[in-house]
Amino acid sequence: MYVKRLLILVPLAVIVLLLQSYFWVPTFDNQAKGSDQRLFQFINGSIGDAQILNPILHSDASSSTITGLIFEGLIDRDRDLSFRGRLATSWRIYEEAYFTPRPGGASPDALRKRILSARTEKTAKWLKNIEKVEAIPPADDNISVFLPPKQGTRRRQRKQIKVSYPARLKITLKSVDQNLFARLKKLLGPEAIATDPAPYLPADLDESTRRAAREKVKLIEHNPVIIFSLRKGVLFHDGHEFDSGDVRFTYESIMNSKNLSPRIPDYEPIKKVETPDEFTFKVTYKRLYSPAFGTWAMGMLPEHLLNDKALEAEASRLGRDPATFTMRDSSFNRSPVGVGPFKFKEWRSDELIRLSRNSDYWEGPPEYAEYIYRVIPDPISQEVAFYAGTIDSYGAGTHQVNRLKKDKRFQVFSDLSFGYTYIGYNMRREPFKDPRVRKALGMAINTRQIHRFVLNGQAEDLTGPFVKQSDHYNRAVKPLPYDPKGAERLLHEAGWRKKNGRLTKNGEALSFQLLTNHGNVDRKAIAVVVQDAWKKIGVQARVDTVEWAVFIKKYIHELNFDAVILGWSLGLDPDLYQIWHSSQTNPGQLNFVGYKNPEADKLIVKIRQEYDHQKQVGYAHRLHRIIFEDQPYTFLYVGKWTALLDRKIARVQRLPGGRTRVKKITTTKTGNYFFDFNQWMKFPSTPRFES
């Protein structure tokens, strides 16, 4: 009976082969079975794979984590979120300002003398800030303007226009001063500075071009300048020395439109970059834009591997047309070379990315021999892998935090996220035009209840638009109280009367649609809680969920909604122009709730133009309060994340004389526990700590 025997023996043999393999696999207690390599590896679990390992091209969190280890920027943030030098050892920020004297008024030279004499005679701080005043000869400049698309096309037209500037005045300041011209006007009289650009434009422009060009001509100009001194002797992973040419190359690659870099908006305000010598990099900006400094944390690319010559060579090697072969096509993006603490070793798509220690790292080599980024698309699988000892850290879900916090096997880190969830009201529509209605709707919601029951206590109140741990967040602003009675009073004040338990005004009920995206369980639950809370004060909300892409395209971008539950994730920079400035309220822009407040506008612009941290914090606090008082959003919560780490991992400090000191892993001000990652080490069992 061969058939029968075959049908039974084959699967039996397969099953025996499968099961015996159990005895060859390492377990949590014996991770070094067969090989002790595991102790020298840090394995990180991730939901998704990286997309492109190039710091100027990627736009996803996974790629950003990996490139952060392979590449390094000129600066980054230290434990207290202040900037510290990395590839730059130091820097200086100052300003060059230009203005055009009014035609027929005082000559540039006369103005120069007046400013200089004022500097010696008066004691005002801003005058002492002036380092140099020069008159510069007339010069031509090319500006490009965008005109609306021609009939039947989608692209806007671009036009080059020549501007002939007369002799101007150049003022060099020791530090950036956004109020310089306002003060100069007071000093020199309002008629000293030109305000009409017409005389400097070519005479033969048509009306629409002229209108566009007028806005582009700069009669006054702030040009902030940053000079970085670069670290000497830093080597790329292939042994090539890093210098200012690489910084310039990185900038030029971002701005090269062929590369489709998503970082262009960050670097667009740059007027020019210079490399006075091998280890000095100078960048001049077209206008005041304080977020620009933080962008130099961007990883630096090796010019010698990616310049035109290298790309051409690669294209011909692959038999591709060099004219269409760009940095995006280069194999560099899958085997990157940087100057960071880890070198790229291997990438198996959707499985792992392996990095190895850079023994020549300028700050001393990291302790781990390998860093492995492992892709596990499913959270439960990730948890299981963490218990089995095949990944070293795990981000706990809100429902697991209380249980896992007590587990002796793990160390626990927890802090607030950079971002928040809110209810946004379409302020173009009734009844949301009235701030009292928005405030009342906020007061009717018991946010504490949402934190506790929807988010398992892993959330906190917030009152304004900034990262809660940052200095810009105004702690003096107290959250809206939970006060349904007060809410009813406010609505009564606003003219809404209760009829059969429903609020009405001029015969219309207070009823609207509350929309959120499909697939986000928390937001859906919040929508129901909020609906119920509003019902209690007589407000009717219809809850609806829509698939993300449709939600954004058909509702948010077309401004076709009443109220939405959404979230923002933020960076540490306090620039909120896109989200809150009144110019950003058109369809497709991010101020989709239509928030317009002239004072807020002024502050938003001031914040993005202010280079002094303390002053910026002052403006931000004011802005925070204004937005809170207007309540364009009901700020619901800022989430708390919790991360677990194997207890066997600790921080090792190498002291002179070969001694070591084992310390507990500590965090930065925002809870980042990876800050000292280069000093981490895994011990065979939980180590004892020295204080």
Partner 1 sequence: MLAYIIRTAFFKTITLLIISVISFLMIHLAPGEPSQIDPLNPRFQEEDLERYRAAFDLDKPLYQQYFLFYKKFVTGELKSFKDNQPVFGKIMERFMNSLPLFIVGTILTWCLAFPMGIGAAMHRGGWFDQSTTFLSYFLISIPGFFLAYILIIVVVDGINLPILGLRIPGLEIPVLGIRTFGREGAPILFRFNDRIWHLVLPSLLGAAGGIAFLSRYVRGQMIEVLDSDYVRTAHSKGLNQNTVYYIHALRNAALPFVTMFGLLLPGLIGGSVIIESIFAWPGMGRMAFEAVLTRDYPITICLNFMSAVLIVIGTFISDILYVIVDPRIRL
How many residues comprise the chain? 691
Least Å distance between CB 408 and partner 1?
A: 15
Listing DSSP states for 435-494 in one string gives: HHHHHHHHHTS-HHHIIIIISTT-EE---SSS-TTSTTS-TTSPPPP--HHHHHHHHHHT
For 133-231, where are the alpha helices, taking DSSP H only?
A: 180-188, 207-216
Least Å distance between CB 561 and partner 1?
A: 15
- Residue 555 makes CB contacts below 8 A (sequence gap 6+) with 515, 546, 561, 564
Q: Is 149 exposed, middle or buried (0-12, 13-18, 19+ CB in 10 A)?
A: exposed
Between CA 590 and CA 595, with CA 593 as vertex, the angle to 5 degrees is 95
Cβ closest to partner 1, residue 436 vs residue 682:
682
Least Å distance between CB 287 and partner 1?
A: 16
Q: What is d(CA 83, CA 592) in angstroms, rounded to the nearest whole number?
A: 33
Cβ closest to partner 1, residue 117 vs residue 335:
335
Cβ closest to partner 1, residue 16 vs residue 313:
16
Cβ closest to partner 1, residue 326 vs residue 668:
326
Cβ closest to partner 1, residue 549 vs residue 655:
549
Least Å distance between CB 90 and partner 1?
A: 28
Q: What is d(CA 55, CA 64) in angstroms, rounded to the nearest whole number?
A: 7
Least Å distance between CB 126 and partner 1?
A: 33
Least Å distance between CB 37 and partner 1?
A: 5
Cβ closest to partner 1, residue 29 vs residue 204:
29
Listing DSSP states for 354-406 in one string gives: EEEE-TT-TT---S-SEEEEEE---HHHHHHHHHTTSSSEEEE-TTTHHHHHT
Q: Are strands 633-646 and 393-396 parallel, antiparallel or unpaired?
A: antiparallel
Cβ closest to partner 1, residue 223 vs residue 382:
382
Least Å distance between CB 405 and partner 1?
A: 18
Least Å distance between CB 11 and partner 1?
A: 4
Cβ closest to partner 1, residue 91 vs residue 332:
332
Cβ closest to partner 1, residue 105 vs residue 419:
419
Least Å distance between CB 277 and partner 1?
A: 32
Least Å distance between CB 25 and partner 1?
A: 5
Q: What is d(CA 342, CA 361) in angstroms, rounded to the nearest whole number?
A: 8
Strand partners, 565: 423
Least Å distance between CB 350 and partner 1?
A: 4
Element (DSSP H or E) covering residue 220: strand 220-230
Cβ closest to partner 1, residue 256 vs residue 667:
256
- How many C-beta neighbours within 10 Å does residue 34 have? 10
Least Å distance between CB 681 and partner 1?
A: 15
Least Å distance between CB 382 and partner 1?
A: 8
Cβ closest to partner 1, residue 258 vs residue 602:
258
Strand partners, 370: 41, 356
Cβ closest to partner 1, residue 370 vs residue 610:
370
Which amino acid belongs to residue 522?
D
Q: What is d(CA 585, CA 578) in angstroms, rounded to the nearest whole number?
A: 9
Q: What is d(CA 674, CA 667) in angstroms, rounded to the nearest whole number?
A: 7
Least Å distance between CB 286 and partner 1?
A: 16
Q: What is d(CA 435, CA 622) in angstroms, rounded to the nearest whole number?
A: 18
- Beta-carbon-side half-sphere exposure of residue 206 (alpha carbons within 13 Å): 4
Cβ closest to partner 1, residue 49 vs residue 522:
49
Strand partners, 90: 229
Which amino acid belongs to residue 530?
V
Q: What is d(CA 77, CA 83) in angstroms, rounded to the nearest whole number?
A: 4
Least Å distance between CB 341 and partner 1?
A: 19
Element (DSSP H or E) covering residue 332: none
Cβ closest to partner 1, residue 91 vs residue 342:
342
Cβ closest to partner 1, residue 201 vs residue 315:
315
Listing DSSP states for 106-151 in one string gives: S-HHHHHHHHHHHHHH---HHHHTEEEEEEE--EEEEEEEEEPPPT
Cβ closest to partner 1, residue 454 vs residue 579:
579
List phi, psi (to 5°) of 137: -70, 165
Q: What is d(CA 181, CA 83) in angstroms, rounded to the nearest whole number?
A: 29
Element (DSSP H or E) covering residue 411: strand 410-416
Q: What is d(CA 84, CA 77) in angstroms, rounded to the nearest whole number?
A: 6
Least Å distance between CB 678 and partner 1?
A: 19
Q: Is 552 exposed, middle or buried (0-12, 13-18, 19+ CB in 10 A)?
A: middle
